[in-house]
């Protein structure tokens, strides 16, 4: 992945997605807009990167495979979300703004999110551009404050 900030980096974004082709366009556009974009294709990789490096935004697919106690769970992203919001990944990550991206029914996922705090928005994989708009608005808000 080539990171090509246009100028100063606006913010750091981590995409956690096991099917990278479903987010390729969004990542590319974010880079064009000046964001630093990183990717994690597995849950373990996401944990590592979050521990190693600070991010401002997280694009998180809830439907990530995860092995918990020997049992394969599809909602691995949910585990990560709970750990982030519960502080298991450090205080720095507790305030990370999260965009939940899912191929599942949004209504379904909405019910699964433990705490909507810091969830910037919940969107389907087909509407990631809405998340991009939300991030840009959030940036403007931060700049304003």
Partner 1 sequence: MEALHLQTNHLNDLAGALREHPGSGQDPISIGLSFLEGKGFKTPRFYERVRDYVAKRDYFVLSQLAPGGARTDCLGAVLDYDRSRFARIEPNGLPLKLSREEAANTTPEVLDIMRCLQVQDLHVLHIGLSLADVSIGQIVASWDGDYARLSESDLHSLRVVGLLISQALQAQVRHQRNVVLEKVRRAIQHGSPSQGIEGLLDALCSSVREALGARIAAVFSYDWYSDTLTKVSEKHETGLVSDTYFEKSITRGTTVTGSAFSQAIASVVLRSTLDDPRYRELVNPQSAERHERLLGKANALLFRSFGSTERPLLLRLIGRETDSKHVFGQRHCATVDRICRDIEEVIGNQVTTRRLLCMQASAAAAINNVNDLNSLINIITSDIQHDQVLGVLAMLFDVQSVQPAICELSLAGASASPNRFDIDSAFLADLKNCKNSETIAIEGHPEAQAAGSCLRFLRERGVRHLLPFRFPLRNGWAIVAFLLDDVRQSSKLLYRLPEKQKSALESYAGLISNCMRAAETTISADNARRLIGHIGHEISNPVAELGEGAIEAIAEAMDVADALKDKLGNAEHQRLIRQWDAKIADINKKMSNVAINMDIAMDMAQETNGRIEVAFEPFDLSSLVYRISDQVASEVGLYFRPTDKCEFVFNDAALNYKSFVGDPRLIGKVFLNILRNALKYSNPPGGGRSIRISIHGNPQPGLAIFLVKNWGVPVPEGKKELIFRAFERGEQLDRLRAKRGMGLGLYIARRFAMVHKGTVICRSSVPTLIDPARRQREGFETTFEARLATNLPVGTYEVQL
Task: State the DSSP code for 22.
Answer: G
Q: Could you say which of 67, 68, 105, 140 contacts partner 1 (CB under 8 A)?
A: 105
Looking at the Cβ atoms of 32 and 117, the one nearer to partner 1 is 32
Q: Could you say which of 113, 125, 136, 138 contacts partner 1 (CB under 8 A)?
A: 125
| Backbone angles phi and psi of 77, in degrees to 5 | -60, -30
Looking at the Cβ atoms of 11 and 23, the one nearer to partner 1 is 23
- In a 3-state reduction of DSSP, which class is residue 128? helix
108 belongs to the binding site for partner 1 (CB under 8 A) = yes
With contacts defined by CB under 8 A, name the span among 18-26, 36-44, 49-57, 79-87 that binds partner 1.
18-26
Looking at the Cβ atoms of 26 and 93, the one nearer to partner 1 is 26
Give the CB-side neighbour count of residue 41, counting CA atoms within 13 A.
6
CA-CA distance, 69 to 126, in Å (whole number)? 32
What part of residues 26-85 is at the interface with partner 1 (CB under 8 A)?
Answer: 26-29, 31-32
Q: Could you say which of 104, 118, 136, 139 contacts partner 1 (CB under 8 A)?
A: 104
111 belongs to the binding site for partner 1 (CB under 8 A) = yes
Q: Could you say which of 5, 24, 79, 88 contacts partner 1 (CB under 8 A)?
A: 24
Burial of residue 28 (number of CB atoms within 10 Å: 0-12, 13-18, 19+): middle
Pick from 23, 21, 55: nearest CA to 36? 55
With contacts defined by CB under 8 A, name the span among 34-42, 49-57, 83-91, 100-108 that binds partner 1.
100-108
Give the CB-side neighbour count of residue 117, counting CA atoms within 13 A.
10
């Amino acid at each position: 992945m080539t990171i090509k900030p246009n100028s100063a980096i606006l913010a750091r974004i981590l995409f956690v997605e096991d099917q990278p082709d479903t987010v390729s366009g969004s990542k590319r556009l974010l880079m064009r807009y000046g964001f630093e974009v990183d990717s994690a294709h597995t849950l373990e990789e996401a944990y590592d990167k979050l521990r190693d490096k600070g991010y401002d935004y997280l694009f998180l697919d809830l439907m990530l495979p995860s092995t918990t106690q020997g049992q394969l769970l599809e909602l691995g992203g949910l585990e990560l979300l709970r750990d982030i919001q519960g502080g298991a990944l450090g205080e720095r990550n507790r305030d990370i703004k999260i965009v939940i991206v899912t191929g599942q029914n949004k209504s379904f996922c909405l019910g699964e999110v433990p705490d909507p705090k810091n969830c910037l928005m919940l969107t389907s994989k087909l509407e990631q551009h809405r998340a991009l708009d939300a991030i840009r608005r959030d940036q403007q808000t931060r700049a304003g404050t």
